[in-house]
Amino acid sequence: MTGYLSLRNLIKSYDGKTNAVDDISIDITRGEFVTLLGPSGSGKTTTLLMIAGFETPSSGVMELDGHNLTLSKPYQRNIGMVFQNYALFPHMTAQQNVLFPLQMRRFPKHEINSRAEAMLALVGLRGFAGRYPRELSGGQQQRVALARGLVFNPDVLLLDEPLGALDKNLREQMQVEIKRIHRELGITMIYVTHDQTEAMTMSDRVAVFGNGQLAQVGTPLDVYHRPATRFVAEFIGDSNIFPGRFDAARPGVIELAGIGPVRIAGANLPAGEVDLMIRPERLRQKPDSGTLDDNEFEMTVDDIINYGDSILAIGKIRGLPIRARLPGAGPEALVPGSVIRLGWAPADAHVLARR
The tens digit of pLDDT for each residue in 151-206 reads 999 999 999 998 887 888 888 888 999 999 999 999 999 999 999 989 999 999 99
| Architecture, CATH, for domain 238-353 | Beta Barrel (2.40)
Instruction: Report pLDDT for 219.
Output: 97
- In this predicted structure, the answer to whether residue 2 has a pLDDT above a threshold of 70 is no
Q: How many CB atoms lie within 10 A of CB 290?
A: 6
Render pLDDT for 196-236 as a digit per residue (tens, 0 to 9).
989 999 999 999 999 999 999 999 999 999 999 999 999 99
Report which of residues 292 and 263 the model is more confident about.
263
CATH among 3.30.1310.10, 3.40.50.1820, 3.40.50.300, 3.90.600.10 for 5-231: 3.40.50.300
- In this predicted structure, the answer to whether residue 89 has a pLDDT above a threshold of 70 is yes
The residue extents of the domains of the chain are 5-231, 238-353
Q: What share of the chain is helix, strand, coil (3-state, %, to 5)?
A: 30, 35, 40
Instruction: Report pLDDT for 267.
Output: 64
What integer is the mean pLDDT of 306-331?
86
Q: How many CB atoms lie within 10 A of CB 299?
A: 22
Question: Between the CA atoms of 355, 325, 293 and 228, what dihedral angle is there, to the nearest 10 degrees?
Answer: -20
What integer is the mean pLDDT of 264-283?
87
- In this predicted structure, the answer to whether residue 147 has a pLDDT above a threshold of 80 is yes
What integer is the mean pLDDT of 237-256?
90
Instruction: Report pLDDT for 145.
Output: 93
What integer is the mean pLDDT of 346-353?
90
Please, where are the H alpha helices in 63-195? 94-104, 109-122, 138-150, 168-185
Q: Which residues pair with 158 in a beta bridge?
A: 81, 190
Question: What percentage of the chain reaches a pLDDT higher than 90?
Answer: 68
What integer is the mean pLDDT of 44-68?
95
- In this predicted structure, the answer to whether residue 352 has a pLDDT above a threshold of 70 is yes
What gap in Å lies between CA 12 and CA 57, rounded to an integer? 5
0.75 surpassed by pTM? yes
What gap in Å lies between CA 235 and CA 348, rounded to an integer? 19
- Asked if 5-231 and 238-353 have one fold, the answer is no
What gap in Å lies between CA 100 and CA 79, rounded to an integer? 15
- In this predicted structure, the answer to whether residue 290 has a pLDDT above a threshold of 60 is no
What integer is the mean pLDDT of 228-250?
92
What gap in Å lies between CA 112 and CA 89, rounded to an integer? 18
